[in-house]
Amino acid sequence: MPAVHLEVEKKYSADDAFELPPLTDLVLRADGGAAAVDGGSPVAEGEQVRHQLEATYFDTADLRLAAAGLTLRRRTGGDDAGWHLKVPAGGSARSEVRLPLGRAWRTVPESLRRMLRVHSRGALLRPVAEISTDRTVRRLVDATGQALVEIADDRVTARRLPTDGRADGAAAQTSWREIEVELTGGAVELMDAVDARLRERGLSVASSSSKLAHVLGGGSGGKDKGKDKDKGKDDAEGKAKGKGAGRPSMTAKAEAGAVVLAHVREQVEQIRAQDLPVRLDAPDSIHKMRVATRRLRSALTTFKPLFDPAVARPLRGELKWLAGELGAARDAEVMRDRVAASMDDDEGTDAAASGQAVEELDRVYRAAHDRVLTELDGERYHRLVDGLDALVTNPPFRPRATDRAGRVLPRLVGRSYAVVRGLVAEAEAQPAGPEREELLHDARKAAKAARYAGESVSRVFGADASAFAQAMEAVQEALGEHQDSVLTRERLRTLGLSATSVEAAFLYGRLHALEEARAGQFQDRFDAAWEAAGRKSLHRWTR
């Protein structure tokens, strides 16, 4: 597994006349104290360092990585020379995957090619830009010498390289200056303070999120040498931001297939977007990919009269497989966090036994996550991704998909609720026991499918569809809590029987009793949610 570094940074455009003030001036409060430094600890500016950085950036010929917000480079110079893959991690944060330089300088390492396959779709990764940076680094440090924030003053010279193999196709050089602020050990509030002070001194956030985006899009803020500014219209970064950013406006008069396809496309994009975060074990990434997989499979099931079964049926099967692989890791993650929370809330828990329990559950999660990574590198997964690409680029619609959405879709959504109602009725007719639990588990999955169905058409049917989806979500969550409790009790019983110490066995038994005590609360919550979901006003639009 390559080294992964989380970076939180902001970039600002600057001209040659801008003078960066002493770093302590950027964090001082009006009373002279340092902003956002724990305990008011003294801060100082460390020794200034200068680097000459040379980077070659790689992408496909049609810039597929840039369109996904990814940056891949090989860089020499500085403290972190090597191969770097930057992955969006929310807000101004990015996960940076790092590998050593190695001998090859024009060929991307196999491990990185494998990680990027879903985005490159197997296309050759080739040099697309060369960027030289004269960097002056200044660091704000605390009393112990730990760097809290790093500010780099970059003088950049870059050129875009041809991707068609023509030796004479390189663009003219462009140059600019930018100030980069990276949080290295301080609190987020410290970066906010620096940001406010730099803005007060006239700096503005750079128009491009990276140097590569600046080169590819002809970003402003520097001295462009012969660069055609109109090329900004083709900025790959802009394409990435626009892709799926807004939901298309549709009405009940639109074709039913078009409405469903818009929802399907969003889920396919989400599966692709979560591929790298899952590989990097980013928080909530497995959950997000699993949800997108389930939503997509649910859409192909709920709206199957619109799709050619010869295409849709195999995809549903493969999506079920992927959701299952993700589900094993997600369930292990939920189990670990649920048990840990129970122990935190229980003052009678033995600390040593608690640590042992969490470690055991974490090992189960790690093993499940490793299995997911193996599957993501496998041909079965990549065949599925190729199939999903074909689904959205050439949708296998049947004639009914051309009918009006208002005529077709509400009834199909209504059928999803009927499935839930039938399962709940069957479960309530059963005595307590495994058969009843299995039916309630099926009812939870059906309620989730009904919720997804309502959400998928809310762009057309508005408040009616949203209210229906919210009611189904309440049912799903109530049954989900019940199911989580059942699974947790089963797991705790197994752990208790195999415990290696009396203290651990006692802990598992105590947690099992706590879960049993919560069972009655789950039933009350479900009864209330199910009664609310049966209101006639929620279902009029589906008839």
pTM: 0.80
Give the separation between CA 327 and CA 329, rounded to whole angstroms: 5
CB contact at 8 A, 125 and 66: no
Q: Which fold has domain 3-234?
A: Hypothetical Protein Pfu-838710-001 (2.40.320)
CA-based nearest residue to 140, from 177, 92, 103, 193: 193
Q: What is the mean pLDDT of residues 220-224?
A: 40
Q: What is the mean pLDDT of residues 470-486?
A: 83
Domains 3-234 and 256-542 share a fold: no
Query: Rounded to the nearest 5°, which phi and psi values hold at 161?
Result: -100, 150
Instruction: Specify the amino acid at residue 187.
Output: A
Q: What is the mean pLDDT of residues 323-333?
A: 89
Give the separation between CA 408 and CA 475, rounded to whole angstroms: 25
Predicted confidence (pLDDT) per residue in 45-57, tens digit: 888 999 999 999 9
CA-based nearest residue to 222, from 8, 9, 11: 11
Report which listed range, 245-254, 257-266, 326-335, is most confident.
257-266
Give the separation between CA 22 and CA 9, rounded to whole angstroms: 19
CB contact at 8 A, 112 and 83: yes
Predicted confidence (pLDDT) per residue in 441-450, tens digit: 899 999 999 9
CB contact at 8 A, 139 and 45: yes
CA-based nearest residue to 403, from 306, 480, 488: 306
Superfamily classification of domain 256-542: CHAD domain (1.40.20.10)
CB contact at 8 A, 52 and 72: no
For the CA atoms of 202, 207, 210, 215, the dihedral, rounded to the nearest 10 degrees, stands at -120
* Domain segments of the chain as ranges: 3-234, 256-542
Q: Judge whether residue 194 has pLDDT over 50.
A: yes
Predicted confidence (pLDDT) per residue in 259-290, tens digit: 999 999 999 999 999 999 999 988 889 999 99
Q: Judge whether residue 229 has pLDDT over 50.
A: no
172 exposure class (CB count in 10 Å sphere: 0-12, 13-18, 19+): exposed
Mean pLDDT, the chain, as a whole number?
85
Distance of CA 187 to the CA centre of its chain: 23
Residue 363 corresponds to which tokens in the numbers above?
């090992």
Q: Residues 92, 97, 100, 102: is their CA dihedral positive or negative? A: negative
Q: Judge whether residue 491 has pLDDT over 80.
A: no
CB contact at 8 A, 193 and 10: no
Q: What is the mean pLDDT of residues 425-430?
A: 92
CB atoms within 10 A of CB 281: 18
* Helix/strand/coil for 325: helix
| Whole-number pLDDT of residue 53 | 96
| Whole-number pLDDT of residue 181 | 93
